[in-house]
Amino acid sequence: MKKIKHYIKEILFFLITMTILANVMSIYRSQDLTKAPLAVDSFKLIDDTTYIIPKNKPILIHFWATWCPTCKLEASNINFLSNYFNVVTIAVKSGNDEEIQDYLNEHNYNFKVVSDINGEISSRYKIAGFPTTFIYDKNKNLMFSEVGYTSTFGLWLRILWAGK
């Protein structure tokens, strides 16, 4: 019983330490990201429709890539949240629209996607690592930015906070 308690303490210590380190790294890596309010009212999606950003509601903008291992881990979180909140994702240098759609179909994802085939959009936001997530409040002011993996619960709480 003492050994089990010891291992549980060690595992908890490791998890807490890793969580703290991940958050410190995210804060450090997000320092150079744009802090400007969201300057667009709509996005052209890969299905050739236009997504108009709803007024008076928060929005999550998520930069990712099909070739990014961490993005693959976080994609199910983004897909889940897209069923409840305004979410637009931007696939950076991930191929043409058809290739991105094939990727979405293969993984059963249904979130809205903008193709940033040349990285022009991501450079405007000063993206240096993937995934990168921005959460804007109902007035299009930046509330949160994250670089790296973020849990569904963490993103959910931030979106709720931005909606106040």
Residue 7 lies in a domain: no
Mean pLDDT over 93-104 rounds to 96
Burial class (CB in 10 A: 0-12, 13-18, 19+), 64: buried
How many domains does one find in the chain? Answer: 1
Is residue 74 in some structural domain? yes
Judged on CB neighbours under 10 Å (0-12, 13-18, 19+), 137 is buried
pLDDT score of 59 more than 60: yes
Which pLDDT tens digit goes with each residue over 1-24?
A: 777 877 787 887 767 776 665 555
The CATH number given to whatever domain includes residue 84 is 3.40.30.10
What is the distance between the alpha carbons of residues 27 and 103, in angstroms, rounded to a whole number?
30
Question: Is 157 a residue whose pLDDT tops 90?
Answer: yes
List Cβ neighbours of 145 (8 Å cut-off, separation of 6 or more).
30, 33, 35, 132, 133, 134, 135
